[in-house]
Structure 1
Amino acid sequence: MHNEQSLVEISLKDKIQDLVERFGAWRIALAVLSAAWRQQQRRNLTSGLSDRMREDIGLPVDGDRRLPSRLSLWDLRV
């Protein structure tokens, strides 16, 4: 089965040409820009999180900072 699948190969140029013929150049360009915009928004949404919050949701921690960049009353301990 794997050998049969590897024999059928469509080049990227042919696939893009097929998409342009099927949907049009403007729709393809709009879809690419929309995907890039969503990726940028996703990156921006997590940029302001503290290391503790990033760790809680499974994102990599920026550094070994003990204090957050913005000190808030919730960070104070008694």
Structure 2
Amino acid sequence: MREMQSLVAYPLAEAMNELHREYGFWKLVRAILALGWRERRSSNRLDDLDNYMRRDIGLPEMEAPRRHPSLDPWDFRP
């Protein structure tokens, strides 16, 4: 199987040149950026988890973000 793959595989420069000739520069750039965005979104990010889920999987809880002091005199929240 490895020998068959090495016979079929193209060097990266040749493959990019062929794609550039067939589809054009902007379509190729857009496809590469879309692929990068898709890969970025598929990674496991823990920043978006709330404290309940973080506690369930054994991670430390995140501190609540501090609010900016309000200039409204009727706003008594700390």
Number of equivalenced pairs: 61
Q: Deviations over 1:2-59 (max 9, x none)?
A: 4344334421100111111111110010111122223334458652114246x4xxxx
The 5-angstrom pairing of residues 1-78 of structure 1 reads 2-43=2-43, 46-49=46-49, 50-52=53-55, 55=57, 63=59, 65=60, 68-70=61-63
* Structure 1: distance between partners of 2:17 and 2:37: 23
TM-score for both structures, normalised by structure 2: 0.51
Cα RMSD (Å): 3.1
TM-score for both structures, normalised by structure 1: 0.51
**Is the helix fraction higher in 1 or 2?**
1
Instruction: Give unmatched runs, 5+ long, in structure 1.
Output: 56-60, 72-78
Instruction: Give unmatched runs, 5+ long, in structure 2.
Output: 65-78
Amino acid at match of 2:48: G
Distance 1:35 1:3, change over 3 A: closer
> Identity of counterpart residues, as a percentage?
26
Q: Of the two, which has the highest radius of gyration? A: 2
* Structure 2: distance between partners of 1:3 and 1:9: 10
Give secondary structure in 2 for the equivalent of 1:48.
Answer: coil
Distance 1:15 1:46, change over 3 A: same
Greater RCO (Cα-Cα under 8 Å, separation 6 or more): 1
